[in-house]
Structure formats: structure tokens, C-alpha cells
Amino acid sequence: MTTRQIPLLLEGRFQESQSRERLAIRNPATQEVLAEVPFATTEEVNRAVAAAKEAFKSWREMPAPARARVMLSFQHLLKAHHDELAEILAKETGKTFADAKGDVWRGIEVVEHACNISTLLMGETVENVAGGIDTYSIIQPLGVCVGITPFNFPAMIPLWMFPLAIACGNTFVLKPSEQDPMTPTRIAELFLEAGAPANVLQIVHGGRDQVDQLLTHPDVHAISFVGSAPVAEHIYRTGTHNLKRVQCFAGAKNHMVVMPDAQPQQVINNLIGASCGAAGQRCMAISVAVLVGESKNLIPHLAASFKELRPGVWNDSGAAYGPVISQKAKARILELIEAGKKEGAKCEFDGSHINVPGYETGNWLGPVLFSGVKADMRIYQEEIFGPVLLCMEVDTLEEAIALMNANPFGNGCSIFTASGAAARKFQHEIEVGQVGINVPIPVPLPFFSFTGWKKSFLGDLHAYGKQAVRFYTETKTVTARWFDEDIAHSAPNMTIQLK
């Protein structure tokens, strides 16, 4: 049987790459080769940027309502193909079907936000800033924009990027993760079906070489990236050094503070889903529970609940989550678990070495729960990105806040409490960009922005919401004066035209 070859979207059509370098895309639950993805040639990357640059000339002149209508059609098609997209996504990432549908839906919400682009692009006007002088601002697109997306959300994160960028009047080159490119490819097919003009969206595949070529290309104006902290630092430095506008969403170590007055079963239920959902492969996953005072008594109950969790294949409705993305990812997580044990953390439950009957070759990891974790331990200092929850005990809310503020990451956090005063103190003093109050994973809806802080984000303007529109556009300020005597000169001409 011939292995499916993932195409490039280049110069308005899907076409096979001429590259000989290819990577197998494997189902994480079975190791079955689903397809092969090419690493685009230097020429193909250049052609993609050139085609996007040429398309920008006409696309930027398309009225904003017309661009919005393309997005309206696109979101309709995404909804119609929701389950189909989720199945493709589940098979190439290992996510459960419910989790995969959530991935697609969160992307659809951003496309819906892009449908409001006419309002989002409105400028500002002040009449008579001086005698007879008016000043107003105009929002204009940048040009060719690039998105570099990770494996863990192959629908949501591309849809964070290219719909808003294109709705703003830009053109876009997408470099999706080479580990799961089938989902963004199908999404791009639907985008063209929605009536998007040829060349406003290009897709190239590859790794670091292809990314570096885009980062340094003279015709690229803006770069958006989501991924690990070390890669984010490289992309930010390289992109800004080459005078690009860059936003990088990087690593995380997200904490959930549990106050003694929190409802115990609510805490347990939310911690389980927030730490182990999607096999912990989420930048907003809760990886640390900070137990204040008597809430440390929840640890045995958490351990008992962890024992009930089991991973499974995408269409197993009883599975809590699926496999991790690759054998390499699994090996790294297992290494960190062993490091935690050696450093003195107490492993309350270790389900890491698990197999799913009939799928023994899958990248399975059962849930793992640690207590007695200290801030100098490697398992605390590094992002594990697996179904592992660390418990740390403190005596007061002040200690919890100090612990979290000392952490170099600031992506998301939450507090579970019945006290409004405690919640307000927490939200005011915590140095983290996204805060949940009795909400474990506080990812904002698209009319707000995704606002990680500290080492979790490099750049000035965040994803989706109003900040994304500012990121993908430039503001032009016009100051205008018209002289009264011009009216007399123009009036005769106006009369002639009317005749």
C-alpha cells in the first residue's frame, strides 16, 4: 500500500513537495504510519512567501466586510465538519474524541471572532484637535505573516493565528507541527472551499531549517509561535534580530492553590481533569497543586482518584485521556518521574508503567502523583508535559503566592476557595497572566486575549482578541486641514459634474 504524502499548500493549490526528506506520522496508540510529511525545500519556502507577498497586493484592498464573509463561510464549514476534523486530530495526536472535539471547537470560536473584523479594525477620530484640524487613525495590514504551531493543538492554535491575520488583510504562511500535519491540512482545504482567494494562505512543512528560513526572510513581517521555552527564545531572538514583529508563547508551570475552605470533591475532580486531561500535554495544564494548611489532607483522596484513571484509544468513551505524542516524549517524562523519586519527592501513586490491552505498542503513561515536592527539585523546575501532578504544602496563602511568583513561568494559575477576600488578594498579587477563581484552566474566550507572562511569553502583543488585531496590523495617524477658500474653487467644478 502506498503511504499517503502530506502536500504543501503552495501558490494556490495543494501539491507534492520535491523534497526527499520526509518524516513518518504515526498513530501514538498503535505506531501505525498514517502518512509522511515532507520537509520543504528552500525553493518551496521562497515560493510560498513570494506567492503570499503577491496575493497581499489585492487581498489588502478587499473590503473588510467581504473578508468577514469569507470567515463566516469558513466557520460554517468548520462546524459542519467538526466531528470529521476531530477524528483526524484524535488519530494523529492520540487524544480522546471528546478532547479532540474541544480542540476543534476552541479554534472555531476564534474564527467566529474574526467574523467581527470590520468592527475590530475601526480607528479613532478627534475633530478640531486644533483650529480646523482633525486627526484620525487608520488600521492597516502588515503584509506576509507566519505561524509556527505545536503538536498538542493542531486545530486550535493554527486557528488562533491565520484567520485573524488574514481577516485583517494580511496573507499567511503556516508551518504546522511536523508531528501532526493532517489536521491543519484538512482545515486549509475547508478554508479554500469557503471562498478564500488563492495564495492568501500557504502551508509549508519542515523543522528548524524551514523555520529559520522564514525567520530571516526579508518579505516576512510578523511571526507567531507556540512551543517550548528554548525554541521560543531562539525564534524570538532570531526574528527580532531580523526586524520582524514576533510573539512567542513558551513554557509553563501552572499552579492551583487549594484553600482549606474549598469544597473537597470539586477540588479533586478539577485537579484530575486539569492535570491529566490530554495526557497533560497542554500549556495550560495544572502541574502543581499548592495545598494550603489543612487542604494537605486531600492527598490520600487524590491518590485514590488517580488510581481510577486509565488512558485509552481515541474512540474509547471510558478513557480519561490518550497516549502521549511520541516514544521520545514518553521517555523524557519517565526520566523526570525517576528524577523526582531520587530527589526525595514522595510518589503517592505511580501508574506510569501501563499498557492498554490490544495496543501494547502505544505511547501509554498512567497518571503519577507526587507529594513533598520542593522548589529546587528538577520535576518542579522543568515542564513535564505529561499526566503528572506535583503537590506542595504551605501554611498560608501568602506563602503560596510567594512560591508561585518566584517561579520563572507565568502562563496560568487558579485558586479554589469559598472566600472572596482570598480570591481577590490572589488575583491582585499573583504575577501570572491568566487567573482562574474556582476555574482550573482559565483559557479566555477569543474576545479577550491569551495573556501569559514572564518566561511563558516573549513579545508585546498576545494571541487572539484585540491584542492579536493590533499584532497583525499597523496604525496610521492622519492629521488633516481643509481651507475655507477651497470651497469656492471646488464649487464650479461640482456644478459642471452635476450637469
| Residues classed as catalytic | 283
159 phi and psi angles, rounded to 5 deg: -75, -15
Sort strands 13-15 and 22-26 into parallel, antiparallel or unpaired.
unpaired
User: Residue 43 is placed in which grid cell?
Assistant: 525553493
User: If you write DSSP's letter for every residue of 146-202 in order, what string do you get?
Assistant: EEE--SS-TTHHHHHHHHHHHHTT-EEEEE--TTS-HHHHHHHHHHHHTTPPTTSEE
Instruction: Say which residues have a Cβ less than 8 Å from residue 354's Cβ, sequence separation at least 6.
Output: 310, 311, 364, 365, 366
CA 241 vs CA 129, 227, 235, 251, 455: distances in Å? 38, 20, 10, 22, 19
State whether residue 398 is helix, strand or coil: helix
User: Residue 220 is placed in which grid cell?
Assistant: 516576512
Say how many C-beta atoms besides its own lie within 10 A of residue 86's C-beta: 24
Report whether 141 contacts 169 (CB < 8 A).
yes
CA 398 vs CA 55, 181, 402: distances in Å? 55, 45, 6
Say how many C-beta atoms besides its own lie within 10 A of residue 294's C-beta: 10
Quote the CA–CA distance of 438 and 398 in Å, as a whole number: 18
Quote the CA–CA distance of 323 and 30 in Å, as a whole number: 10
